[in-house]
Amino acid sequence: MSDPNASIVEVRTYFVRGRNALVARADFSPLYIDYYLHRADHDQVYEDEHDAMLKEALAALTLHLASRPQEESFGWTFNFHEPRLNLFVTGSSRPGRVAGRLFTEDVREFEKNLLISQMTRPQHPPVQSLIEFTNDGIYPAVEQYYAQSEQRLARYFNYEEEDIVMVSAQPDCDDAWLAALTGNDIMELDQREQLSLLEQRTYIWECGCSVDRLYPILGKLAGGDIDEVFGGEEIITLTCPRCGARYRAAREQFEAWKERA
């Protein structure tokens, strides 16, 4: 169940008539507030540079989700060669939620920057793609993902610091116009072009994890040997791989879950 106190981000999508392009735009301030509250709750400390990257990845994914069919869910992993960093964001439109985290330890070395995307939807096998990107930032990396994996153009712009705009090509798009767009053009887009409102979707910061949902991961450790997993302790800490949330897991409760599983 979603947190009734969560701050809501409203994403609006518009069709650009005569250009055959889709505009998705949102003010991400509410989402970032809940992201920082989550970090405080779970003692997550990130460097400022890494924090900015994760916020951009959350915004990029949310706008991507808003421009896609509602039944799709996505997970994006950005593996940076230098600095050595893994950045993961995940989200869906039904329900509308996004979350993510950073990994700076035990990051696998690929000697290049990779973006791995996995899309899932009900009653279909997952679809995964992998592209190499230049280390110019999150938004350029996602634009390269669009060009290489989706075979179409997409551009990201900061209308204001936390007001982000994505413009993506649709069939028969005026690609030359899209490729030439500048930040100044985005500021005046509604004056220069004819925009038709298509849809409004809402998203919140939420992973959906819980200690019960982490038990299957715990159950796979050490071949299911509970003594080895708990190491003689009655309570251990579990960390969600998707958002970094920390949970206290009691051996007694885990054993009860294992008997029911």
Question: How does pLDDT run along the chain (261 residues), one tens digit per residue?
Answer: 467 778 999 999 999 999 999 999 999 999 999 999 999 999 999 999 999 999 999 999 999 999 999 999 999 999 998 778 999 999 999 999 999 999 988 888 888 999 999 999 999 999 999 999 998 899 999 999 999 999 999 999 999 889 999 999 999 999 999 999 999 999 999 999 999 999 999 999 999 999 989 988 887 765 667 777 787 788 999 999 999 999 998 988 888 887 776
Angle at 105 between CA 99 and CA 110, to 5 degrees: 90
Pairing of strands 85-93, 73-80: antiparallel
**How far apart are the C-alpha atoms of 66 and 28, rounded to whole Å?**
13
Cis peptide before 95 (omega within 30 of 0): yes
Q: Which CATH superfamily is domain 9-205 in?
A: Hsp33 domain (3.55.30.10)
Domain boundaries, the chain: 9-205, 211-260
Pairing of strands 85-93, 96-103: antiparallel
**How far apart are the C-alpha atoms of 226 and 166, rounded to whole Å?**
48
- Hunting for tokens 């507030």 — which residue is that? 33
Q: What b/e string do you get for 133-171 counting C-beta neighbours within 10 Å, with b at 16 or more?
A: beeeebbebbbbbbeeeeeebbbbbeeeebebbbbbbee
Q: What is the pTM of this model?
A: 0.93
Distances (CA, A) of 4 to 8, 38, 94: 10, 15, 16
**How far apart are the C-alpha atoms of 158 and 161, rounded to whole Å?**
6
Q: Which CATH superfamily is domain 211-260 in?
A: HSP33 redox switch-like (3.90.1280.10)
* Close Cβ partners of 73 (under 8 Å, ≥ 6 residues apart): 90, 91, 92, 93, 119, 120, 121
